[in-house]
Structure 1
């Protein structure tokens, strides 16, 4: 610039350049900090700003290139103007040093820290408007951006970086779990629990949630017809297995709404009952719940017989059991829902030995181990490593267990409590 350039004009240009520097600095932080998943949602909703930002972020090397070209240009020009102004006031000797120190402080505060902090806190408010400028600017400066990116990408390849596209936004299951946890009030707590339960379905198998074979309510065709009919009329279940003699010899599954067909007959026979029963559906005991949920849907089934590797019946699983793993119990009354768990006045629980460990954990909020035995009886025996001759006590983590009743080589009930919460009864 010529020496007769008005100082007021130089100061004005310097202010404009610092504002432009702040724009490029905040644009870089805003673009890189924007929530990619919210951006993707808005893009799919048809928002133009989101589409522009997505196009720019599809090649982050080009986006960063155009931002830094603009930022470096205005910063260097600002340094030159500041030097001219400082020389005018302080002379050729001390002017450059003073301009460097002063401009560094001004740029640091007004063009770096402040705008970048604002952009980090509100990336969408910065990124969307900035895209209106950056997208046409990228088109205008494309040859220079292409040259700069070609050189920088070549250097990146020397360090083993091959892919410079911005498509690495997929989440692992654990990362998605963290996202759900950190959603806070944006997702209701109950919905968070359901989402996390869906993620856990593949870690739970059918034998974890099945009704054990000894608790299966079914119709034994070897019983007298009057007993069978009384079972049909009194059953609280919608579907019941029909077997002959032994539960391993299952003939079919009877839907009780079809019972009206043979109950209305003048002469009811066991053959008429068998005729209404549907062919049984068998499930391997190690089937993950997310797989079984799809299998139920594919087979148009709501109930299945769980069998082991030898084909012996181990229990019964229903669609409702899997849904409860996602949405929780259909009642919040622990004593009513879990008849094997009996709360006591002092905060302890009397729990029957046949109670499922996972159901205990869900109902009471404990952390008993679930990677071994499925029932409380099995868990106690595993830790004792022998069958107790008399009532005994043991500790599993923070849970204290006092065996109360033993019958027929089985622990039928035990008093349980958390050591940190309840003193020994």
Structure 2
């Protein structure tokens, strides 16, 4: 065979590999990755950004080049095959020779023009894309009239309107992949996931529950309000009328200090100008509440249930902490939910979930005879008041019989809840202790 023909085949296969491989390298890079390369000042980054700004023109250019090369390669192989059939004296018909050449060329194009170059490109996408981007910038300029014609024809036949976008689930999958590959640390991963869940998280999930709201009666005096303000360090304090379920106003620390400076220490809150509270339903998303608070220039809202009763309170800080984690300042006090108080005893805050308490003793609701459907997700203080059918007294003890199996033996134990303190008609700390009763045969 003529050495020039062999050289021509090598060139054509190389061009086929070039177009196939560079297509994958150029189209696989994400936009944010390209922007990052531009910021780093990498060679070819600006050209890469330019050609990717109109990916349709880039793709048409690649397809023009690839199809022209592959078509020319197949035509040249067919011409050579017919020539061999006529002059070889081997008795091959032209059809047989063309069939053999088509099979051989197809295999070679598939292997050297598609599989191998794309395998290389996927592993070196960034470096290849940066290198070839300036070349494609020139090719797009040279082929521009033809690209315009083909692009116009494509638009006629392509559907208009809907553009497929990435779903939230796909974005979360990419974020999880980034964490697994080490590109995103755990803290960043949690923050991004929290932002994605922003519109799905309801105020009920982040609110301070009703039983933990620090509020003032509307008949409280300014001096009493000042004492309360100094001991609780809240900048805004809800004000209720008669019952905590009727919170219509709030007072600020500045209001209290101003009235006190006027010598109005005996004046009641009902006698000064209070600010109206913002009320929202339990089911509202924190994203909607965030926008509402911003628009109303407020930082606090009262959460109401379907009957209009108060369920809790949400501040702007609660919403921000949902995304960025706990924000602590000099007024925040460290509090431990569980304090070890001996081998089988803990001092527990009353707002801890009952399941979390039982978990410390390897127990569940069934072990102490409580219905899971009724008490799942409830606090230990709720369980106590429900069992007693009323409010406990300081020092009162509630006991539960515990039955479980341990080392193939049936163990009977006693779990006790002892009320350690009651503050402002609220249960404070509780001593939770478990002790063995006896071994049953």
Q: Relative to structure 1, is the Cα distance of residues 227 and 22 closer, same or farther in structure 2, using a 3 angstrom cutoff? A: same
SS of corresponding position for 1:253: strand
Q: How many residues in Structure 1 have an aligned counterpart in Structure 2?
A: 379
Corresponding position of 1:76: 74
2:196 maps to 199
Aligned to 2:56: 57
Give CA-to-partner distance per residue, 1:262-290, whole Å, 9 cap, x none: 22223423347853532222222221111
Tell me if structure 1 keeps the 8 A contact 2:201–2:285: yes
Partner of 2:159: 163
Q: Distance in 2 between matches of 1:330 and 1:256?
A: 21
Call closer, same or farther: CA 1:82–1:133 in 2, change over 3 Å.
farther
For residues 67 and 125 of structure 2, the distance between their equivalents in structure 1, rounded to whole angstroms, comes to 21
Distance verdict in 2 for CA 1:108–1:266, change over 3 Å: closer
Pair 1:132-2:133 in alignment: no
Matches within 5 A, 1:103-182: 103=105, 106-127=108-129, 128-129=133-134, 131-132=136-137, 134-136=139-141, 138-139=143-144, 141-142=146-147, 145=150, 163=159, 167-168=163-164, 170-182=165-177
Q: CA deviation at 1:39?
A: 5.1
Q: In 1, distance between residues paired with 2:355 and 2:172?
A: 20
Instruction: Specify whether residues 17 and 229 from structure 1 end up closer, same or farther in structure 2 by C-alpha distance, changes over 3 A only.
Output: closer
Is 1:297 matched up with 2:294? Answer: yes
* 2:395 corresponding residue in structure 1: none
Contact 1:42 1:50 in 2 (8 A): no
CA contact (8 A) 1:262 1:268 kept: yes
SS at match of 1:76: helix
Instruction: Say what the alpha-carbon RMSD is for the aligned residues.
Output: 5.0
Measured against aligned partners, the alpha-carbon deviations of 1:345-393 in whole angstroms (never above 9, x if no partner) come to 9899875553369999xxxxxxx999x9653449989xx9x99x95256
Gap change, CA 1:355 and 1:394, over 3 Å in 2: farther
In structure 1, distance between residues paired with 2:19 and 2:344: 62
What does the per-residue CA deviation read over 1:231-267, in whole Å, with 9 as the maximum and x for residues that have no partner? 1332222211123332233352222133321222234
CA distance change for structure 1 residues 226 and 39 in 2, over 3 Å: closer, same or farther?
A: closer
| More moved, 214-223 vs 317-326 | 214-223
1:26 alignment counterpart = 21
Provide the residue aligned with 2:411 in structure 1: none
Deviations 1:21-51 (A, max 9, x none): 1112213333443335545888999944323
Structure 1: give runs of 5+ residues left out of the alignment: 1-5, 155-161, 361-367, 396-401, 417-425
Within 2, Cα distance between the matches of 1:47 and 1:37? 13
Q: Distance in 1 between matches of 2:90 and 2:160?
A: 46
Instruction: Name structure 2 gaps, 5 residues minimum.
Output: 358-364, 366-371, 391-397, 405-413, 434-441
Q: Is the Cα contact below 8 Å between 1:180 and 1:192 reproduced in 2?
A: yes
Correspondence for 2:352 = 355
Kindly indicate whether the alpha-carbon contact (under 8 Å) linking 2:218 and 2:268 is maintained by their aligned counterparts in 1.
no
Q: Is residue 258 of structure 2 the alignment partner of residue 257 of structure 1?
A: no
Distance 1:146 1:132, change over 3 A: closer
Larger mean CA deviation between 238-247 and 224-233 belongs to 224-233
For 2:38 and 2:355, how far apart are their aligned partners in 1?
42
**Which residue, 5, 17, 25 being the options, matches 1:10?**
5
